[in-house]
Amino acid sequence: MSTLVAVLRRAGFYLLALWAAVTVNFVVPRLMPGDPATALVGRLQGKLDAAALEALRTSFGLSDAPWWRQYLDYLGAVARGDLGVSIAFFPAPVTEVVGGALAWTVLLAGTATLLSFVIGSALGVLVAWRRSGRLDAWLPPLLVLLGAFPYFWLAMLAVHVLGFELGWFPVRHAYDASVSPGWTWAFLASAVRHAVLPALTLVVATVGSWTLGMRSVALGVLGEPWLDHAHARGLPPSRIAWAYVARNALLPQLAGFGMALGYVLGGALLTEVVFAWPGTGHLMLQAVRAQDQALLQGLFLAVSVGVIGANALVDGLTAWLDPRVRRAA
């Protein structure tokens, strides 16, 4: 019974968070100065007849209704799954524009985030286990150094050296022009090959923070008295390291991982710009430039839902990993 109450309370909390996110999504794009329709024409450095502009404003769904009216309409539309029409990609609906990009972003940023978390955390346990060893002396500083490079520069360097000069990797797009998306070996091989370089740069840039985080938590765990007990009982060191130290140290890391996973849906802006990746980060840049309120709202909504969903997932994962959490709930 108490579990049910706890789950319901959690669900209520997530619903509240979702409402708050949707409201912020509504407010923020409207704080941008200027009128999206006129800015659209201005950006072309061209001209448009005044009557045509007025007619287009109506088609774009821009309204002069009072804000509360617009807000209620927006809430209703979101509930129906209608995110409006994109101004930058008129007359395509936002769901269509975001949908296509979301798949590519999840593939790239999702995989990279997962890889970075797994590799970084494993390395963190490793260096903590062999603390003050040779590995511990040079690996964490090296990873932090790599992470401290401006990402843009790192990605450009990868494109230039590995892609352009050596020609090992493709430097743009998610698959080769000679194949079309589909469940074929040729396409999948091409997609994997195209993802390697951007994913590599993302992992290199972010792995250090996971390693460092994991290392410091693991060091704390290593000082716990029950570990001496485990050693004394003669458990093999690898089992102690991975099943005891790692499992305990992972808990605080998971919360951060949940957040990172949620932000994946927002896309990796710089990666996508450098590698011409057809993802949501690039789309968001485009939406901001075009003052495309509907598209921005759609993208923010995807990120909000992603963060909230990932948090729910991490909540479940934590409960599974840590019996104390289950009992407390």
Partner 1 sequence: MRPVAALALLVAGCGPATSPPPDGTLVIAAEQVPTWVRNFHPYALSHHARWPTRVAIYEPLAIHTPRGDRWEPVLATAWAWEDERTLRLELREGVLWSDGTPFGAADVVGSLELLRDHPGLDRDGLWRVVEGVRARGPFEVEVRLGHPHLPLLGDLLELPIVQPARWRAFDDPVAQANPDPVGTGPFTEVLRFEDQLFELGPNPHAWRPSPVQRLRFPALGSNEQMLLALVQGQVDWSGIYVPAVDRTWDGRDPAHHHHDFPPLGGMVLLVPAAHRAPTDDPRVRKALSLALDRSRVLEVAASGYAELPHPTGLPPVFAGWGEGLPGCDWIDHDPARAGALLDEAGLTRGEDGWRRLPDGTPWTPELEVVAGWSDWVRAARLVVRDLRAVGIDARLRAWDFGAWYDRVPRGLADLAIGWSVVEDDPWSWLGDQLSSRTLEPVGEPASSNWQRVADPEADAALATFASSREPTVRREAFARVHARLCALAPSVPLYPGPSWGEASSRRFVGWPSADDPYARLSPNGLPEPWIVLGHLRPR
b/e per residue 55-84 (b: at least 16 CB within 10 A): ebbeebeeeeeeeeeebeebeeebeeeebb
- How far is 55 from 40, CA to CA, in rounded Å? 14
Contact map string, positions 200 to 229, toward partner 1, x by CB under 8 A: ------------------------------
Select from 25, 26, 40, 217 the one that contacts partner 1 (CB under 8 A): 40
Measured between alpha carbons, how far is 4 from 2 in angstroms, rounded to an integer?
5
**How far lies 297's CA from each of 2, 31, 94, 218, 288, in Å?**
37, 13, 9, 40, 11
Select from 13-21, 191-199, 218-226, 234-242 the region that touches partner 1 (CB under 8 A). 191-199
Q: Does 189 bind partner 1 (CB under 8 A)?
A: yes
Which stretch in 132-140, 211-219, 226-234, 275-283 sits in contact with partner 1 by CB under 8 A? 275-283
Residue 193 contacts partner 1 per CB under 8 A: yes
Judge residue 234's burial from the number of C-beta atoms within 10 Å of its C-beta, 0-12 exposed, 13-18 middle, 19 or more buried.
Answer: exposed
Q: How far apart are CA 37 and CA 87, in angstroms?
A: 8
Least Å from the CB of residue 266 to partner 1? 14
Judged by CB under 8 A, the chain residues 123 through 182 that form the site for partner 1 are 159, 163-164, 167-178, 180-181
Q: Which residues bind partner 1 (CB under 8 A)?
A: 32-35, 38-52, 54-56, 58-59, 85-86, 88-92, 96-97, 100-101, 104, 159, 163-164, 167-178, 180-181, 189, 192-193, 196, 272-274, 276-279, 282-283, 285-286, 289, 291
